[in-house]
Chain A
């Protein structure tokens, strides 16, 4: 299987919706399995990237761990792809950018409706939150973008088959959606 395309995927500040959409490839996943193998990804449980051909990043960066993960992907992936609205412009998580971080935390963990045992989580194991959620192209170089919330399975398919067949990936009008 030496010539399979090696793909790593991750969800940073995302909802896993893009990963779910990827799985919407349904029976095409069988075809895909002939062509690719997965490295670090929620679908393999491999914890760190080795050398990969393609890294698919869902979500923007909202905490320090996201930044480390993103850098690990950039170091190990020949082609790094921003997948979905959140990776591209911060998306829904970035809507917290207009509220001071302290207020967000108090609302979620202290004052919010139905909060029991109010306390702001501060375990040393927890990554520190960034002041603002940022899109990933502000942190590392991104080679391709797949817009959509989420991008449809057809978008993933077009992108991966274009690459696999040696074409410059292109999304025509029907495949470009921001919603």
Chain B
């Protein structure tokens, strides 16, 4: 576990309180650290400073020093160093703290500035909140209530702008609601590296648009919806489906690659409505790929494996086949650490070879890596595999052809996608556990319906060897059983040591048996994960290239 270096601190005075804050951060962040809210629109901690909304104006003063001698000038009345207040308000977002800086966030001037900006932002705003999807998470609504005057002095005609522009396949723009903060533009340029958005026209007629012939179609386009402070950018998938205040938020992990972007799953009454990124400055900042946001659709997808028979019968049938010998185990890089742990134990109990199926794609250099399994590292840590997995199970195929395998336990994977032929499948008994139906489940002697990541809890280990937890957002499919529980019971059924299948019990076994997990407990894992000691696997040539906050070890070595 690597501890970040302690930042250098400076003392500043915020609204009369002397506080210590890290050097170099801006006034908004400094104030935030001591619980003071400096309202803002255009500032976003992960984007460059634009300074255009002017909502964050504050009063700023510096300790007075004599120009010639550099001696402090004292205030006779207070006995303290005199403060030179700048007569004009300054932007908090663009002002970095320095020693002795004095900041007023509550003065009359600051209040007046905020009232002014709020009034200006609302005069041409359509005020269509009742039909706006942003209601409930709209900064304009919140700050109008908190910092506005509460009435309007505007009697002129409002500007008219385009109301429904499809910027790309997933994002819709309402220009009348846009406060021209340029967050979406900066995101496209700086993070997505796809410079397609800009303003046309000028003054109050400025209008956000895509460059001619371009569209906002990159795999990060929905982040613009997340960071748009108002209802100007909305998601085609989510808009008009549900008011956000009805939704329950559950922390989860994006399973589309080994990056493991941290996410929030938004659900109501067992139905998921959207997935958004959750801030983790070591992994994904505040971003995630669009492709990871639609994964919730697998919960209600047509190809889900539906439960058949009772779990007890299925387990009995499965264990009978497995105990008969000649077993091979195909685990999964999509399974949780806990599931992989049980899978590995079953393999060990049965003295079976175990493997997982590698899944490779092109890394995008941002938040989708080349390793499309979320938990390859977990398979290594739990001992399910000892080297890097392959995309094709050639060894298993050869063993089947040689008649060395009678039964294959398959967790979640489709063997035909991993290079096995229908003939080879037909030669063996298959015990399948997973949430979707495929050629392998169809060929299985015993198939047990499992759950999606959204219906269960556990941990993954990402490309950085960061152990990250996810929690179940919605109840599992009726009749299906948590994969972890199924595997624990299967282990017991084939004669293995019985461990409780609840997370606390599994983790006491994990921390006892796996040295890099020593001393850890599920309940104590921080929301942003924990970096594990990965030296044991440093020799492996992992397929990932560079992504946000991740430099592959091999690249470092060759650089």
> Real complex partners, A and B?
no
